[in-house]
Amino acid sequence: MENGLHNGMRTNHDRDTWTNGGSNVMVKYERAHDKGKEAAMDIVNGGDMMDVDSEQDGAPGNAMVIANHTKMDELPDEIQHITADTLSLGLIVSRLAQFTHSKLLDVIQALASKPLPPNAVNGSSNYQLTGAEDTSSESLDKKVLLLKEAQDLHTRWVKTLVITEWSKKADKVSKLIDIRAHLASKLEEFNLVMYHMIQAKQDMHWAKVPSPDLKTALEVLSSGDVAWAPELGYLEPPPLTPQDKLDWIENVDTLLSVRLNLEEFDKIPAAFRDYTVDSGRVRFRVKGEFEVELTIGDEDPEKQFWFIDFRFIFTPAPAELPDHMRTILEAKVNHLLGTDGLAGCYKYLHEFVLTQKITEFWRQAVELSRFKWTETLSVERLNRSVAVQYWTGRTPSQGLKSWIIIAVDSRVGADGLPDASKPSCLVLKWFRDNKEVKGFDIPFDTETISAENLLRAVIARHVEYFLGSIYTKLSAKPRFAQGHTKLALDISKDEPSESQLTLQLFDNESVQVRVDGMTGTFTMLPPSQVSQEGQRKLNLSPNPAEDGPAILESLRWYYAGKDLSSRARSLGWSMVRSAISMDELKAMVQSASHSKETFQPIWLKRVGWSPQWFVIMTMSLGGDRWWLVELGPQKPSFGMQGPRMKMFSEIPMTSNQLSVSDDFFQNLTTYTSAIISHVIDVRELDSKHLQHSSSPSLDDTLPPQVKLPTIFVRLSDMLRPIDESKRHVPPTPWANEFIPIVFKGVQSPSEDQLIEEPSQPRRIKTTAEAQLAVTNRARLRLQAAMKGHAVIDPDIAYDSRVGHFTIRLRADVGTPMVALLAARVRSLERLVDFVGSILRAGKDLEAQSVTLRKIVFTYRTGGSDRPGATLPNAPRQDTRAWQVRLSLAQDKSVEVGLEPSNPHMRVIDFLNQAANSNELESLPSWLVTTLPLFRAVTRIENAWSSIAANGEGSFSVYPRGLNWLSLRFVIFPGLRRELNLAVRPRTRKGNTVWYISRDSNVTGRVDEFDRVLHQKVWTARGEGIKGLSQRAVADTGAGIEKLLELIDHAIRPLAGSPAPPSAPKPAPGTIQDTPSGAPAGAMPPQHQAPQSMQQAAQAQAQARLAQAQSLRQQAQANMQNQMHQRGGTGKGSSNSPVVVLD
């Protein structure tokens, strides 16, 4: 009902009628298909059609109308009564009622979504001033919205009321319409007679030649007029004004909107849902295809639409159709509109556009084949399809072709007939190497037609298939799957020439494999003789996707041998020939891997090694491997020639992870020398029947994957002569039984040594370190040395911080170090007698062990000295020592370990943060000082466990930091009541105390928590505690335990109780402002002004803040001095300082 209405204004359907001549004479031209449709809106003699009975009693002609009323009711038989296209008044009213109901629902939802006005007074949202109107912006917006919607609905119902009043005269108007239709039909008959007469005269034109009218011609030529010619007396119609034209266009827009939304709504094709009505026409827009403009020639919704204009909206496309094409298209569309309606129009134009798109693809492909892509494309036009073959010059002998087909898919259903619900569309088919590809992901843009972009996208997928297949096969091999060699695939979806496969050949050498997009030939970068050979093999291969991995692998073998040969010689390594048979070498390689891939070996030898040691590198798709090999003497037995392998060990190094540079060969020398030394030492220990074990260890000078072997020997074995028969030796009481021998590196001879001793061979020395962990440090008596690093010997050092002896060992490669270590350990034994115990600091803090990897100490504090009867079930004293473990195993972090039942376990994360910061030294003192607090919190938590189990309340602790705890009491059942208390340290009169205060009360009212806290806690006085009206303070000893138990004693009885009615929050100066010296419950004078009390409270707060800031610096200095003195003072007092870790 909304379509076509213009804010209640009167329509102008009668704009084309006018009066001509005298009274009761109407002249109006109508076409044949318009008869009887606009008569209801005509103006007769300048009056409205509603004036047919407008004359009331007293008018001159009123009596005659009444007299002829019966006769007017009976129309002649020639006049037919018209009843078609009549709408029910009840339908209009019901539709308007439905619209009104839905509109009101929308208004209610819109009003509900509007924001509420801000709180008026004291945070109360329901407060209203008596007798005053709400003038907030939110309320005004709601009123404006409600008023606009009500006015719009009122306008619509007024229109309906006018129509209802007009319907009372519907019978008379119906008769007038019938008469008008009858007159129009008669006028049409006159027009038909005149048309036939003119047609007959035109047909007789060729039948005879008319005689010249010389008389008339002479008169016309002489005077310019013919006097005897009849004058018909026709009056020209008045010209249309711009307003009349605008009104006519608006009327057509109204009729189009009504027709499309009511009559044609279910008939509009889905593709025509995007339309606009403007300028007397409807413009249907099909995305990516076309725009067509139609109009109507009649108000009758059963009459057809008429074609006006057509445009393509895909690019590139003709801006305008040629005249002959437009004429044909207009005639065809008008015919289909008359027969099949909008559905037939859309189907025809849709198929026409698809054909045009196929033509455009064909045109662009032909142009590319002639100019830019010459001799690489073959284009063939088929029936409503086009085929484009690419890479026509690639491997012609194989007969493999690749092409694409762009065609129209008619969307045939299961019955073999076109599916009307699914319009036809353009489809793309791709044939790669004579095989159709299914399920490809190629963007097919039919709105912006570009044959070149489509070809590049298809060829990019073809290149992706070549390079991706090679990449997939290579990446599945162990060498690439394990990251031993770099392999990267970069695919461009739009530009095939930018796709590339990057393969690391060796070290920093890599090759990039690309495919030319136009010709399909492979190229390799950077260009070289070897890469050109690989490129030629790929281009000649009938199936590059299958043969590519083997071709690239052979290319890598060449580069690897070339690189190693050029670099190894300058770094003390040399390439040698293979010293064993290929079968024995294959057995070695296959022992570490089940891969049967072909491999290429490269033999290397280090200058200064014994002749039986070699390094072998084997390269294959199964993985590049490095081996350390020891060969035995040649066996002269029959059938065995050459030396035999005595020992081999795989080296965890790969050429891609470690660049083949100076550092790489240095790491290789270090690791292989370590392995050789390890093998020699193990053989020495086995020959002497000494117990030992081995484990890998990391070296900062080597890559992470390289782990050097560490040998563990027994200290008792090192303390006796190695050449003596094995006997039982009791474990040493001062050091760890097992000594690790850690390899540290190699030392090549310096230039000075080579000059001084030129005749000596260039031997390489290995260095190692043996560490002795002291277990009974009290015997060492090295308290003075614990502050630094004591150097006992040039090759022996003692680290007092961790309690380790470090023994440095140096020997030639291939020479055992065990004998050297035994001599050094025995000399260190003599020093054990001079070692004493390490003094522990204080009784509350006691160190248990200080080692390289772990520091263990215990801490305790005295319990409360108050009687246990103050609170039920309160312990008298708790002096248990709690153990702390500081793990120093990791270089960059310290890990704190506590016992599971330790009260500080709840802040273990903050302890780890403090241990890894500059607060590590203050951590033990902080543990001692805060132990009473966490001990009391744990007891409260245990006491509330039964309450929480009964569902009457709960108690939770939320650590905000080392010096900040948040305590939360929750009371059930019924309304949830919550109390949050903050516990933080403060400096008061030079001492550190605990402040407990309540977090902000969000309700803004005095609740039951405020009352019980004020009565029992905030006004409490006692040893170590003091109430401060709105908070309480306690010392760091027994006072904090007593204060927390007072809070628990005050809050716990509330558990399970119903919520009392809340009272407004008292103004400042009532309960909270009770002087500290007044008794509990004392109230200030009632005549005291609240404003003056607020100012006094602010001044008092500022004074306290200034005092706290001044005392804080003094307290920090005092705490540092007291902390240094804490070790010899024994148990601290209740006011012992605490280290504040803010």
Give DSSP secondary structure letters for 675-712. Answer: HHHHHHHHHHHHHTT--EEEEEEE-TTS-TT-EEEEEE
One DSSP character per residue, 437-493 reads E-S------SSB--HHHHHHHHHHHHHHHHHHHHHHHHHTSHHHHTTSS-EEEE--S
Predicted structure pTM score: 0.46
Would you state the pLDDT for residue 855?
A: 65
Residue 126 has pLDDT above 60, yes or no: no
User: Can you give the pLDDT at residue 45?
Assistant: 35
| Secondary structure of residue 637 in the 3-state scheme | coil
What's the pLDDT at 1119?
43
The DSSP bridge partners found for residue 388 are: 379, 404
Confidence of residue 57 (pLDDT cuts 50, 70, 90): very low
Amino acid identity for residue 400 in this structure: L
CB 797 within 8 A of CB 782: no
The more confidently predicted of residues 1049 and 49 is 1049
DSSP labels for 1017-1041?
Answer: TTT-EETTEEE-SSEEEEETTHHHH
pLDDT band at 818 (very low <50, low <70, confident <90, very high): confident
Per-position DSSP letters for 855-871, written without gaps between them: EEEEE------S-GGGS
Q: ∠ CA(676), CA(680), CA(683), 5° rounding?
A: 140
Q: Kindly indicate the confidence band of residue 203, based on its pLDDT and cuts at 50, 70 and 90.
A: confident
Rounded CA separation 754/126 (Å): 99
In sequence order, what E strands does 715-758 have?
Answer: 738-747
Domains, the chain, in order of start with CATH, read: 1-54+66-113+139-205 (no CATH), 371-464 (no CATH), 467-559 (no CATH), 569-634+643-663 (3.10.450), 680-750+762-839 (3.30.1460), 920-1082+1090-1124 (no CATH)
Cα(763)–Cα(677) distance, integer angstroms: 14
Q: In the prediction, which pLDDT does 696 show?
A: 74
For residue 1141, name the pLDDT band (cuts at 50, 70, 90): very low
Give the per-residue SS3 of 191-232: HHHHHHHHHHHHHHHHCCCCCCCHHHHHHHHHHCCCCCCCCC
Note whether 312 and 353 are within 8 A (CB): yes
Of 653, 656, 761, 758, residue with least CA distance to 708:
653
User: What is the model's pLDDT at position 869?
Assistant: 34
Closest CA to 617 of 682, 672, 679: 672
- Asked if residues 187 and 30 have their Cβ atoms less than 8 Å apart, the reply is yes
In this prediction, residue 65 carries a pLDDT of 44
Phi, psi of 958 (to 5 degrees): -125, 100
CA pair distance 526, 517, nearest whole angstrom: 19
CA dist 553 and 430 (Å) reads 32
Averaged pLDDT, 576-595 = 81
Return the closest-CA partner of residue 530 out of 549, 546, 554: 554
Q: How many CA atoms lie within 13 A of 570 on its CB side?
A: 9
Q: Which two tokens stand for residue 335?
A: 């015919």
Interatomic CA distance for residues 5 and 11, integer angstroms: 9
How large is the angle between the packed helices 544-568 and 451-475, nearest 10 degrees? Answer: 60
Mean pLDDT of 794-805: 76
Query: With 70 as the cut, is the pLDDT of residue 225 above it?
Result: yes
983 or 1006: whose pLDDT is higher?
983
CB atoms within 10 A of CB 404: 25
Round to whole Å and give the CA distance between 406 and 422.
19
CA distance 940 to 969: 11
Residue at 1093: amino acid letter: M
Backbone region of residue 85 per phi and psi (left: phi > 0; alpha: psi in -120 to 50; beta: other values):
left
Helix (H, G, I), strand (E, B), or coil: what is residue 260? helix
Position 378 scores a pLDDT of: 93
Q: 57: which residues sit within 8 A by CB, 6+ positions away?
A: none
Residue range 173-197: mean pLDDT, rounded? 89
858-901: per-residue pLDDT in tens?
778 754 433 333 434 444 556 788 888 877 556 457 788 899 88
Hey, is 2 helix, strand or coil?
coil
Per the listing, tokens 């993985």 go with: 623
pLDDT in tens, 318-338: 888 899 999 999 999 999 999
Tokens representing 897 are 């370990």
Q: Determine the Cα–Cα distance for residues 872 and 860; give it in Å rounded to an integer.
A: 24
DSSP 134: -
User: Nearest Cα to 607, choosing from 673, 541, 695, 526?
Assistant: 673
For the four alpha carbons of 346, 352, 353 and 355, in that order, the dihedral sign comes to: positive
Higher pLDDT, residue 471 or 38: 471
805 three-state secondary structure: strand
Distance CA 901, CA 895 (A): 18
Mean pLDDT of 219-231: 82
* Strand order, beta sheet including 845-850: 845-850, 854-859, 882-887, 895-898
Predicted pLDDT at 721? 57
Residue 805 has which token pair? 């002896």
Side by side, which strands form the sheet with 796-799? Answer: 692-698, 707-714, 738-747, 765-773, 804-812, 796-799, 789-793
792 vs 177: which has the higher pLDDT: 177
Do 850 and 774 contact (CB within 8 A), yes or no? no
Cα 941 from chain centroid (whole Å): 42
Over residues 976-998, the mean pLDDT reads 87
Q: Please, which residues bridge with residue 324 across strands? A: none
Cis peptide bond prior to 318, omega within 30° of 0: no
Rounded distance between C-alpha atoms, residue 1003 and residue 984, angstroms: 24
pLDDT at 1084: 34
**pLDDT range class, residue 1127, cuts 50, 70, 90:** very low
Contacts of 587 by beta carbon, 8 Å cutoff, 6+ apart: none
- pLDDT of amino acid 522: 92
**Residue 170 confidence (pLDDT):** 81
Nearest to 933 by CA among 898, 962, 970: 962
Q: What is the helix (H) or strand (E) element at residue 363, kind and residue range? A: helix 341-370
Maximum distance among all Cα pairs of the chain, rounded to whole angstroms: 164
Reported in sequence order, the residue ranges of 5-119 that DSSP labels E, i.e. its strands, are: 18-19, 26-27
Residue 260 is predicted with a pLDDT of 92
Q: Please give the Cα distance from 710 to 677 (Å, whole number).
A: 11
User: Does the pLDDT of residue 42 top 80, yes or no?
Assistant: no
Residue 897 host element (H or E): strand 895-898
The per-residue pLDDT for 564 is: 81
- Residue 137, pLDDT above cutoff 60: yes
d(CA 432, CA 168): 78
What is the chain's mean pLDDT, rounded?
76
Q: Which residues contact 50 (CB under 8 A, 6 or more apart)?
A: 166, 169
pLDDT tens, 539-564?
888 888 888 898 888 888 887 777 78
- Label residue 1117 by pLDDT band (50, 70, 90): very low
What Cα–Cα distance (Å) separates residue 477 from each residue in 192, 543, 619, 620, 659? Answer: 91, 20, 12, 9, 21
- Give the whole-angstrom CA distance, residue 412 versus residue 422: 9
Averaged pLDDT, 1116-1131: 41
User: What is the band of 841 on the pLDDT scale with cuts at 50, 70, 90?
Assistant: very low
Query: What token pair was written down for 602?
Result: 């490269």
Report pLDDT for 177: 85
Closest alpha carbon to 262 in 22, 2, 609, 556: 2
Please state the rounded mean pLDDT for residues 272-288.
Answer: 93
Distances (CA, A) of 561 to 261, 565, 568, 576, 639: 81, 6, 11, 12, 32
Question: How many Cβ atoms sit within 10 Å of the Cβ of residue 284?
Answer: 23
pLDDT, tens only, 729-772: 444 466 788 888 888 878 776 544 444 444 444 677 888 888 88
- State the pLDDT at residue 368: 94
